[in-house]
Amino acid sequence: MRTVVGAGPLVTRRRAATDAGLLVLTGALAAALVLVALLAPRLVMSVADRGARDVVERGRPGTDVIAEVGGVDPPVAGVRPPEPAADLRRDAATISDGVPATLRGYLTDPMTTTTTSAWYAQVPAGVAAGRVGHVLPSDGSDPVRWVAGRAPALLPDVQPAEGQPLADLQRHVEVGVSVTGAEAMGLELGDEVVVKPGGLLTRLTAVVVGTYEVVDPDDPVWSGLADLVEARPAPRGTGAIAAAGFLVSDASLPDLLVALAPTGTTTQVRFLARADQLTADGAETLATEVAALSADPTPLRLMDARVPLIKTGLDDALNAYRDRLAGATAQASVLLAGLVAVGALTLLLAARLLVERRASLYTLERARGASVASVGWRALLESVPVTTLACAVAVGALAVLVPRTGGAWWPGAAVAAVGVLAPAVLAATLVRRSWTGRRVPANRADRDRLAARRRTRRLVAELTLLALAGGALASVRARGLLASSTGGVDWLLAATPVLLAGASTVLVSHVLPPALRALRRAASRGPALAGLVAAARAERASRTAIPLLTLTVAVALVVFSGLTVATVDRGQQRAADVLVGGDVRVDGPVDDATLDALRDAPGVTSVVGTRMWVSRTFGIGSGVDVTLLAVDAQALAELRRSAGDPVEPGLASLGEQTSPTAAPALISPELERVAEAFAPQVWATDVFAPLDVQGTTSIRGDDGAPTVVVDRAVLASVLGTEVPAQYTRLLGPGAVRAVTDLAVAETPGVTVLSREGWLEDWTSSPLTAGLRTLMVVSQVALALLAVVALVLTVVATARDRRRTLHVLRTLGLDPGTARRLSAGEVLPLTVAALLAGSAIGFVVPWLLLSALGLTALTGEPDGTHVAFTWHPVAIAVGALLAGLWVAVEIEARTRRDDDLAVGIREAER
């Protein structure tokens, strides 16, 4: 043991002092790579957590958890409840206490609302849609500020006369109205409004005693009560002037409830999900608990045996996010595996540089009797402190950048392990090949047999790598990047691009030497000495696979990241086109007058209204169901023509009605035989509409079923009734402004979505934006690592090349030719890595498209297609050229002051 460890610290300290600069650079490189390896998974976790919070925030009020119950069944009908507000607070507390503890920690305190059904009330300004409501905020504060009048109070009780039916009893209840509601309905203090919601037991009249303004209109307690906050437009076609609510206070609530049956009111106890406390891991637990509570709400049973009904979209939203997160995690795992692999290979090149600089010392040490173990031990004494210090710096920086303690540690540990072991292994390998005392058979046949055995071992190793890469590729295409048993990332499959790059390196390593030999023969016939020397040295350098592997993997992942970013960007644009279908999409009933106003608006080039019916019988007695599309045919033809989509003959002419009893129609090809066998008719609203089939169409509904396309106006004429558009697309630069000016979004039941709005919402979501940023940063980091790897490759052979250049200088070699010789030595390796890496970078996204789950980032409903572009290759070429220039310039500047005589003497040795 003493022969192995003896004098190790002394020798290590002296060598470290001699190569202090190189060790500092190696340590800085190791610290940076360990930091990147540790930071990447934590950034992914941070993006995942912010994405889960964003899903909850953006989904409100749909992501609120609501426990809904009907009214209390009184012991005696017509008896006013004593303290119903206190009863509502007690019921909310009971429901809150019944929520499972694992779920309760993710929810806020409950807030309670009680409402009646809506009715059309006669008010001074006309007819208005109204309803009565009561709110109880979670903090107990007053939700409104009274502007005029006073808060509603309890009125004296009214008892029915002997024998008088409850239905004939007249009751009153004091209410308040919002300021805008009073203005819209023409109400003043003291006005009375007859209340006629569903479930009335007695006659009821509301007395307006005050007008109010909501303290905080954004308070979640007002979710679903927009008409109580301010007056809203009434539903189209009702003739009502507005929709507004009447608010009762805690004091006047008994006067409302005594006049209604239990079915006349609905109470909602609303819980908000605490988005600030949610993590990606907790989101899955939360979704499971919410789904379980929705399926079995009996733990929320009230004291009077009422069981609330759970209404929430939180579990569906979080489950959908989980699927998106799975795709994003798969993509991030590929980048992380690539960063770790390239980082480890770069540290291996740094260790190779250090060992090459000390090759003569290691050889001399071995010649003097040092064992291989002692050489490796001394290298470990040097690499362990350097790597340990680098890891300490990386962990300290990590604690500053990302305070969160969670996250995987193995990527950093893997990079650190390479930093520790690589110098020792390379040094031991070097000395093992020199002064080993190994005996070689004198018989040539035996020597050939040993050489064949070594070639066989190398061939087996190469075939194993090829088989591993092929198996990983087949597996990842078959089942994706996630492990089926745990749902986590299968890191062997995530390393598929790295394995494919390694396999391509094996193939290139067999092709490159013959190509370089041919290049050397061609150079030997020319007059340039530098080309011949560069080709000869390049041929010898090609026997080392580590630089080629490092550059190939780096280039492959640079191209892969670039193509992925381009695919995501183009896919998001396409998703906006597919989902919106124009510049603006309007969902909901829009009358023809509004559509005509939109068409006349400046900047609007096309307006297409559509009405769709699914599962409609085509042909009486045929048993065939179709999707019926009623469209503005001429506008749709213009829209499809401007978008570059095919326009079927006859689409634009569907609006030209040739028969007053039949609508011209285009049908899917599979319906032609049905149309020949049965009279072509389709069930529209409540009757069959005769059709005049003009041809076939490729247009399909959302369900992909066979489709019948007719003109909307013609169908309305045949049916003798209006066919309002339920789905409208607008095209043109003024589409957004037109929809805004006409207040289309204010119409009840109508939602407006613009193409730019969808893109902004989608691209600004934390998961989408964070993962795209990670891809861009990874591409830049990999390009920088390619530069570093190329510099290390050139510098590692600089000392041996310097001896050659010193001899050539005696033959008149000028500095420019020397630079070209240095660049020419590594240029074949660089070109080979560029070609192989680019090929892998282009092939991997195409082969792994389904496994990568890019639709999680693009949002495309019908799948993603790879967007091939030359920009990633340009980035890789730029990085390699920059690395080559930096390395050659560094070598030239360090060689500028060399003593030629000393250099020649070194070359002779």
Is there a single domain that holds both residue 84 and residue 9? no
In the prediction, which pLDDT does 144 show? 93
Residue 577's nearest CA partner among 739, 762, 703, 331 is: 762
- Cis check: omega of the bond before 828, within 30 degrees of 0: no
d(CA 188, CA 167): 28
Whether residue 553 is contained in a domain is answered as: no
Count of domains observed in the chain: 3
In the prediction, which pLDDT does 776 show? 87
For residue 523, what pLDDT band results from cuts at 50, 70 and 90? low
Lowest mean pLDDT among 3-17, 560-574, 831-845: 3-17
Q: Average pLDDT in the 583-606 region?
A: 86
Angle between helices 798-809 and 529-541 (to 10 degrees): 160
Is there a single domain that holds both residue 109 and residue 150? yes
Lowest mean pLDDT among 147-156, 506-515, 709-718, 763-772: 506-515
pLDDT digits (tens, 9 = 90+) for 262-271: 888 999 999 9
For residue 183, what pLDDT band results from cuts at 50, 70 and 90? very high
Whether residue 869 is contained in a domain is answered as: no
Give residue 596's domain range: 582-762
Q: Average pLDDT in the 790-816 region?
A: 67
Whether residue 353 is contained in a domain is answered as: yes
Lowest mean pLDDT among 105-114, 515-524, 690-699, 762-771: 515-524
Q: Average pLDDT in the 548-574 region?
A: 88
Question: What are 706's two structure tokens?
Answer: 């066979």
In the prediction, which pLDDT does 74 show? 79
What DSSP line would sit under 734-747, residue for residue? Answer: THHHHHHHTTGGGS
Last residue of some domain: 293, 311, 329? Answer: 311
pLDDT higher than threshold 70 for residue 543: no
pLDDT digits (tens, 9 = 90+) for 426-462: 888 888 777 655 666 777 777 778 778 877 887 888 7
Max avg pLDDT among 40-49, 286-295, 857-866: 286-295
Is there a single domain that holds both residue 41 and residue 134? no
For residue 182, what pLDDT band results from cuts at 50, 70 and 90? very high
Residue 120: in which H helix or E strand, if any? strand 119-123
Whether residue 363 is contained in a domain is answered as: yes
In the prediction, which pLDDT does 153 show? 93
What DSSP line would sit under 805-821, residue for residue? Answer: HHHHHTTT--HHHHHHH
Is there a single domain that holds both residue 265 and residue 397? no
Is there a single domain that holds both residue 41 and residue 131? no
pLDDT > 70 fraction of the chain, expressed in percent and rounded:
87
In the prediction, which pLDDT does 480 show? 65
SS3 percent helix, strand, coil of the chain, rounded to 5, is 60, 15, 25
Is there a single domain that holds both residue 109 and residue 81? yes
Q: How many CB atoms lie within 10 A of CB 48?
A: 23
Lowest mean pLDDT among 383-387, 534-538, 561-565, 836-840: 534-538
Is there a single domain that holds both residue 146 and residue 5? no
pLDDT higher than threshold 60 for residue 811: no
pLDDT higher than threshold 70 for residue 817: no
In the prediction, which pLDDT does 304 show? 85
Is there a single domain that holds both residue 215 and residue 329? no
In the prediction, which pLDDT does 293 show? 92
pLDDT higher than threshold 80 for residue 528: no
DSSP designation for 897: T
Question: What are 695's two structure tokens?
Answer: 């041809």
Last residue of some domain: 435, 456, 486? Answer: 435
Is there a single domain that holds both residue 89 and residue 227? yes
Is there a single domain that holds both residue 650 and residue 718? yes
pLDDT higher than threshold 60 for residue 246: yes
Is there a single domain that holds both residue 307 and residue 317? no
Is there a single domain that holds both residue 140 and residue 226? yes
Whether residue 713 is contained in a domain is answered as: yes
pLDDT > 90 fraction of the chain, expressed in percent and rounded:
14
Mean pLDDT for all residues in the chain: 82
pLDDT higher than threshold 60 for residue 486: no
In the prediction, which pLDDT does 404 show? 65
Whether residue 268 is contained in a domain is answered as: yes
pLDDT higher than threshold 90 for residue 395: no
Q: List alpha helices for 489-544, DSSP H.
A: 491-494, 496-524, 529-541
pLDDT higher than threshold 90 for residue 67: yes
Whether residue 778 is contained in a domain is answered as: no
Whether residue 758 is contained in a domain is answered as: yes
pLDDT higher than threshold 70 for residue 895: no
pLDDT digits (tens, 9 = 90+) for 80-116: 888 899 999 999 999 999 999 888 888 989 999 999 9
pLDDT digits (tens, 9 = 90+) for 286-316: 999 999 999 999 999 998 888 999 999 999 9
For residue 805, what pLDDT band results from cuts at 50, 70 and 90? low
827 against 533, higher pLDDT: 827
Q: Average pLDDT in the 392-419 region?
A: 82
Residue 416 backbone phi and psi in degrees, to 5: -65, -35
Strands 170-178 and 126-136, sheet pairing: unpaired
Using a 10 angstrom Cβ sphere, with 0-12 exposed, 13-18 middle and 19 or more buried, the burial of residue 33 is buried
Q: pTM of the full predicted structure?
A: 0.80
> Which residues, in sequence order, are CB contacts of 544 under 8 Å at separation 6+?
none
Using a 10 angstrom Cβ sphere, with 0-12 exposed, 13-18 middle and 19 or more buried, the burial of residue 92 is buried
Last residue of some domain: 762, 783, 802? Answer: 762
In the prediction, which pLDDT does 27 show? 86
